[in-house]
């Protein structure tokens, strides 16, 4: 069993590949199901509210598509990191990653990129099917990509924070159902905040998900509730903040190393 000396590289590519393969192996649950849910939203709300005109010139269905794409993308990016971590913690197999010579940066980057990948795959799935129902405009693709990647990275980071913090599935479900879900549903996916009473418009401005959805929608229509540059600045700040928290948790081994 004598072998030549080993050449060590980074464990990051393998951890990324494992995280991608994990959701790929249950693709019906992790990709197909959320795509179907989004399509059902479009069919129901699009049918009921089809007479409405948005931004003065777009059908409600066309308006809804970018919001649904982004909502699906965000929720699945969150689900990828959070479910992977809580499962690994509860079953105990996270120890195999913790035993490896991975830095907290490598750990973070692998989990977040996998979350971004799943979010984009689900978002693309929703987009392709809904675009077939109602072909959307694509005014500024670079804005679309920027907000998609940043939004997925933010939700991936939040999922990582939640997955590390939660000790059981119930706690994670509370984080998801009482924080992430309302924040995404009330972020302007289904409406323009200009249709809200002034007080609720103000409240919406405290919801970071609003800026992700609004900036993303700007890439499709060239129209948004607020300037895309303002949205970009705010979500960049949010990204830095949640990344810093997640990295600090990994660096100190919060709830991972005792």
Partner 1 sequence: MSAAISIKKISKNYGALQALDDVSLEIQQGEFFGLLGPNGAGKTTLISILAGLVTADQGHALIMGADVQSHFRDARRSLGVVPQELVFDPFFTVRETLQFQSGYFGIQNNDAWIDEIMANLDLTSKADSNMRSLSGGMKRRVLVAQALVHRPPVIILDEPTAGVDVELRQSLWQFISRLNQDGHTIVLTTHYLEEAEALCQRIAMLKQGKIVALDTTANLLNRYGSVKKDGEGKTDLEDVFVNIMSGNAL
Closest CA to 140 of 221, 30, 80: 221
Q: How far apart are CA 33 and CA 42, in angstroms?
A: 14
Q: Among the candidate windows 15-23, 46-54, 202-210, 225-233, which touches partner 1 by CB under 8 A?
A: 15-23
- Half-sphere exposure at residue 83, Cβ-oriented, CA atoms within 13 angstroms: 17
User: Shortest Cβ distance from residue 250 to partner 1 (Å)?
Assistant: 13
Stretch 81-100: interaction string toward partner 1, x if CB under 8 A: -------x--xxx-xxxxxx
53 backbone dihedrals φ, ψ, rounded to 5°: -115, 135
C-beta of 29 vs 195, nearer to partner 1? 29
Nearest to 115 by CA among 87, 175, 74: 74
- Near partner 1 by CB under 8 A: residue from 51, 56, 101, 197: 101
Q: How far is the CB of 64 from partner 1 (least distance, A)?
A: 34
State the nearest-atom distance from the C-beta of 1 to partner 1, in Å: 5
- Residues 139, 45 contacting (CB under 8 angstroms): no
**Range in contact with partner 1 (rule: CB under 8 A) among 1-9, 65-73, 184-192, 193-201:** 1-9
What is the CA 242 to chain-centroid distance, rounded? Answer: 13
User: Of 215, 190, 217, 68, nearest to 130 (Cα)?
Assistant: 68
Q: Is 25 in the site for partner 1 (CB under 8 A)?
A: yes
Q: Give the interface with partner 1 as residue ranges (CB under 8 A).
A: 1-3, 6-11, 13-15, 17-18, 21-22, 25-26, 88, 91-93, 95-103, 253, 257-258
């Amino acid at each position: 069993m004598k072998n030549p000396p080993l050449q060590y590289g980074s464990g990051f590519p393998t951890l990324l590949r494992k995280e991608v393969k994990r959701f790929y192996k249950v693709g019906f649950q992790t990709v197909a199901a959320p795509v179907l849910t989004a399509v059902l939203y479009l069919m129901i709300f699009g049918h009921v509210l089809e007479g409405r005109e948005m931004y003065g010139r777009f059908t409600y269905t066309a308006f809804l598509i970018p919001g649904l794409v982004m909502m699906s993308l965000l929720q699945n990016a969150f689900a990828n990191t959070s479910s992977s971590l809580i499962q690994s913690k509860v079953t105990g197999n996270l120890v195999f990653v913790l035993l490896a010579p991975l830095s907290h940066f490598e750990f973070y980057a692998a989990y977040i990129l996998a979350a971004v990948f799943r979010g984009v795959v689900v978002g693309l799935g929703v987009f392709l099917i809904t675009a077939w129902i109602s072909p959307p405009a694509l005014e500024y693709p670079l804005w679309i990509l920027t907000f998609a990647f940043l939004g997925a990275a933010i939700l991936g980071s939040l999922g990582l924070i939640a997955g590390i913090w939660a000790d059981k599935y119930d706690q994670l479900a509370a984080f998801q159902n009482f924080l992430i879900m309302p924040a995404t549903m009330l972020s302007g996916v289904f409406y323009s905040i200009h249709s809200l009473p002034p007080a609720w418009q103000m409240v919406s401005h405290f919801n970071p998900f609003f800026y992700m959805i609004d900036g993303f929608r700007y890439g499709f229509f060239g129209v948004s509730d607020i300037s895309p540059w303002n949205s970009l600045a705010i979500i960049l700040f949010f990204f830095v903040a949640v990344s810093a928290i997640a990295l600090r948790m990994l660096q100190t081994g919060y709830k991972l190393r005792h």
